[in-house]
Amino acid sequence: MKDKKALTAPCGLDCFNCDIYEDNLTNDLAELISKKTGAHMEEIACKGCRQQDGKHFHLSSEGCATLNCAKANGLEMCCDCTDFPCVFLAPTADEAARYPHNMKVYNLCRTKKVGLDRWIEEEAGQIRKKYFTGKFVVGRGQAEAEHTPSDMKLG
């Protein structure tokens, strides 16, 4: 796998953990995406946001507006911007169950706090796993689906 720093998008998405990243994409998933979207099989595998200059079959012809903004402002990560967080990073409920884009601001805040290297090595994969398999607990945020924190008092 390529350098994980180069495979972390300015918006905080961890391309290296994405299901459509070229090293992770399975033929079955590529076929499914091709059938659902009409995209050619060879268009589906992604090399990462920075490597493809934010251009992928599912984006507009102008590419990723967030990446374009970061590049125009000379930023490595959006959390380094004086306007962070901005409208490009706003979460939505639409497709939130399928896409990890609602994690961006959290990922960027953690990156700013602990550094990109630590976030990549210690947190990126766990956050994504919890996003798709964890349960929301009011007042606590994410909780493991099969585990309730021992310090949580109920009742």
Q: Given this model, what pLDDT does residue 1 score?
A: 53
Does residue 10 form part of some domain?
A: no
- Decide if 6 is inside a domain: no
Cα–Cα dist 5/124, whole Å: 12
The pLDDT tens digits for 49-106 are 899 888 888 777 788 899 999 999 999 999 999 999 999 998 888 877 777 778 889 8
CA 29/CA 146 separation, integer angstroms = 27
The rounded distance, in Å, linking the Cα atoms of 116 and 114 is 7
CA distance 40 to 32: 11
Helix (H, G, I), strand (E, B) or coil at 141: strand
- Identify whether 5 is part of a domain: no
Give the mean pLDDT of 23-47: 92
Place of tokens 């490009």: 88
Domain of 110 in residue numbering reads as 15-143
Domain membership flag for residue 39: yes
Is 2 domain-assigned?
no
* 69 lies in some domain: yes
Q: Which residues contact 106 (CB under 8 A, 6 or more apart)?
A: 12, 127
Residue 116: inside a domain, yes or no?
Answer: yes
- Mean pLDDT, the chain, rounded, equals 84
Q: How many domains does the chain have?
A: 1
Q: Is the pTM of this model over 0.85?
A: no
- Cα–Cα distance for residue pair 49/8, rounded to 1 Å: 8
Flag whether 149 is in a domain: no
Of the pLDDT bands very low, low, confident and very high (cuts 50, 70, 90), residue 146 is very low
